[in-house]
Amino acid sequence: MDVLIVDDEPLARQRLRSLLAAHADLHVVGEAGNGRQALDAVQSLHPDLLLLDIAMPEMDGLETAHHLARLEQPPAIVFCTAYDEHALSAFEAAAVDYLVKPVRAERLASAIERARRYVASRPAQAAPEMPRNQPRSHLSARLRGSLRLIPIGDIRYLQADEKYVVVHHARGEDLIEESLKSLEAEFGERFLRIHRNCLVAAEAVVELRRGLDGQTHVVLRDGAPPLEVSRRCLPGLREKLRHL
């Protein structure tokens, strides 16, 4: 099996490499220091197994697993962490095992065997959405079997389009297979509902502008087109904007 080691501590990565050397059928194809790097590496190196830390800068291991689950054939994930309080969240993230540092050789061997069984029988379709205890730092759009990460801070607005949501962001737009309702539940502190089919980033709002026809629009920064505010959403929107 091909293995990717993901940990922000070089010494931890080195220890895992030394333990894996005892397994002749394993090949370490690369290393990564955070979740963003790990996702890029997975899509270029196609490892069978990730040894994945949880507490990392930029993107933690649990969010990384969330995005990986959207791939058509996600790799097996074994979490390697210094903290045991994340065990339940790790298994909700479909990890095949959970190892507490310092990782012992016999426990790693057991986890590798679990990973072999997973790889031999892994599904040909993406796994269902997994629960999360805290909002993600990125959304992910699937593009021909790969993932495009969209930082939450780059998003201007989210607009429902049948069973998809169009994410309008600093680099353009992407379709994601998530519901507007679930996104509002996860990111309600950062996005404001202006219509039954639209959420806007609070920090992107410049002003509310009422036209001659009596219709109110949200004016966004960076030249984005004004967006219509429904009469139903207008009172709540005004109230929230007062407190920003």
Each residue's pLDDT tens digit, 185-234: 999 899 999 999 999 999 999 999 998 888 999 999 988 889 999 999 99
| 72: pLDDT strictly greater than 90 | no
Residues 6+ apart with CB under 8 A from 72: 124, 125, 126, 145
pLDDT of 83: 78
Percent of the chain with pLDDT over 70: 93
All structural domains of the chain with their residue ranges: 2-121, 153-242
In percent, how much of the chain has pLDDT > 90?
A: 74
CA distances from 97 to 5, 117, 161, 212, 220 (A): 15, 12, 38, 61, 45
pLDDT digits (tens, 9 = 90+) for 146-168: 899 999 999 999 999 888 999 99
The pLDDT value given to residue 162: 84
Query: In angstroms, rounded to a whole number, what is the distance separating the alpha carbons of residues 132 and 34?
Result: 19
Find, among 132, 195, 130, the residue nearest to 158 by Cα.
195
Q: How confident is the model at residue 123 (pLDDT cuts 50, 70, 90)?
A: low
- Give the C-alpha separation, 190 to 204, whole Å: 10
Mean of per-residue pLDDT scores for the chain: 90
**In this predicted model, what pLDDT tens digit does every residue of 74-105 receive, in sequence order?**
999 999 988 777 666 766 667 899 999 999 99
Q: H/E element holding 239? A: helix 234-242
Which superfamily, per CATH, for 2-121? Answer: Response regulator (3.40.50.2300)
* Topology, domain 153-242: OB fold (Dihydrolipoamide Acetyltransferase, E2P) (2.40.50)
Q: Please state the rounded mean pLDDT for residues 43-72.
A: 93
Q: Are 120 and 94 in contact (CB under 8 A)?
A: no
* Predicted model pTM: 0.81
